[in-house]
Structure formats: structure tokens, C-alpha cells
Amino acid sequence: MSRFFQLAGLFLAAALVAHLAYVLLLPRMAANALLAELHQDLGGNVFHRLDGKWLRRIVRHPVPEAAYGVCVLQLKDHPVELTGPDLRSQWAVTVYSPRGDVVYAINDRLVPEGDVRIRFEYRALDSSMGEIALPKLKEKTLVLPLQQASALMLLEAWPWHPGQTPLVHRLMKRLRCHAVAATRPARSWPNAAAQKVPMPRPRPKRPAGVP
């Protein structure tokens, strides 16, 4: 009889481990793999309009007439800015962590009117010490601190009316995602001047015709 209970315990332990591993690890691994694949295919800190394969892969139910774009944020060495003209539409920026969680969900009503200027900054904070970093508005730039050195930014813009679709798509083409020089807050040395980090070298331009 005790043999039966031993085997039943073994069975339950194996089932529990498999269940938890699947539930907890699969979303994390899938999101990580997606981020790595996107980085390899599209590059880091480059804004890409989504179409075809990647649109189908990332957005379950695309909104008709909407324009989509992504940028794989690589923030370890320098902040990254999303800049571009006023999209003259409703738009939303969603930042996904490598674990697949949504870190930020921003929309056009949360930023100043006019050109799009959002800065993503990496801040390694110790939350156990009560450190928090909050988004803030610096001049006309929305600064979003992230605790992840890499993340995925998805931008969606949908026109108020189908007639505006070409305009929104045209404006979306002018959006840029690019690394910028950092003015790092000197957390350990409160009186030290902000440290300037040299600008990264610009990425080579893609040949014409390559999306």
C-alpha cells in the first residue's frame, strides 16, 4: 500500500512541476524569443512600421486602417527616444518587458499636443530599498524610466476617420527611434554633475527598398 502512495506522490509531484513550469515559464520564454527574433530581424533602437508577417505575429486583431510600428529598445548604454511629427490621430504606445508584461501603456491624451517625443531610460533600481522611478515630463519630452535594459515598444495609430488613413501612414513613416546621449542622474553622488555619456555611432542606413 505504501508503495502505491509513493508512486502517487511521485506522479503528483511531476504533474505539479510540469504544470507550474508551463504556466510560469512559457509566457516568459515566448516573449523573450519574440524580442530576440525581432532584434535579429529588425535591429535594435530602430523604428519599423509593421506589416505582413510581423503584424500578424504581434497583433492578434489589427484595427482596420490603423498603422503599427515597433522598436526594440536597447537601453543598457544609452536612453532611446521616439520622435516624430504629430500623428494627428489617436495613438497608443505600449512597452512590453522581456517577460511579456506591459510596463507602460501611454496614449495621445497623456502627452503634450504636437510632435511625438518620448524618451525611454534604463534605471536599475532596488525596489526592496523602496526606490521607484516615475515617468515625468521634461520640457515637451515624456521620460519613461524602465527597469529593463531591453524592451519592446509597440506604437499603434488609428485615424478618426478612414479618409485620414493615408495621412496617418505618411506621418508614421517619419517617426524615428534612436539612441540619445544620456544625462544620468548621479544617484550615488548627489552633488556630482550629471555625467555625459558619448553619443553612440549612428547605425548604417539600410539600402533603398529594404523595409
Partner 1 sequence: MLRELLIIMNVLLLGLIVGLWSARMTADMPALAGTVQAGAWRAWPRAGVADALPYAHLRHYLDDALPPSPGDRLELVAETDDDGRPLSGRCAYRLSGAMLPVRNWILAVHDPERREHPLAALQAADALYRPDGTLHILLDPHFQTGNWLQTPRRATYRLVLHLFGISPLQRDRILGAGLLRITRVDCS
State the nearest-atom distance from the C-beta of 65 to partner 1, in Å.
8
Q: What whole-number distance in Å separates Cα of residue 59 and Cα of residue 48?
A: 15
Q: Which residue has the cell 510632435?
A: 115
Alpha-helical regions (H) of 43-60? 52-58
Query: What are the residues whose beta carbons fall under 8 Å from the beta carbon of 147, sequence distance 6 or more?
Result: 122, 123, 124, 125, 127, 133
Name the nearest CA neighbour of 71 among 80, 62, 84.
Answer: 80
Q: Does 12 bind partner 1 (CB under 8 A)?
A: yes
Pick the stretch among 79-87, 121-129, 158-166, 179-187 that binds partner 1 (CB under 8 A): 158-166
**CA–CA–CA angle 144, 146, 152 (5° rounding):** 95
Decide whether 11 or 186 has the Cβ nearer to partner 1. 11
Q: Does 14 bind partner 1 (CB under 8 A)?
A: yes
Burial letters 85-96, b for 16+ CB under 10 A, else e:
eebebbbbbbbb
Q: Does 170 bind partner 1 (CB under 8 A)?
A: no
- In the range 93-122, which residues lie near partner 1 by CB under 8 A? 94, 96, 100-103, 105-107, 109
State the nearest-atom distance from the C-beta of 77 to partner 1, in Å.
26
Question: Element (H or E) spanning 177, and its range?
Answer: strand 176-179
Q: Does 59 bind partner 1 (CB under 8 A)?
A: yes
State the nearest-atom distance from the C-beta of 93 to partner 1, in Å.
9
Q: Does 83 bind partner 1 (CB under 8 A)?
A: no
CB atoms near residue 25 (< 10 Å):
11
Q: Does 132 bind partner 1 (CB under 8 A)?
A: no
Q: Binding residues for partner 1, per CB under 8 A?
A: 7, 10-24, 26-27, 30-31, 34, 56-65, 90, 92, 94, 96, 100-103, 105-107, 109, 152, 154, 156, 158, 160-162
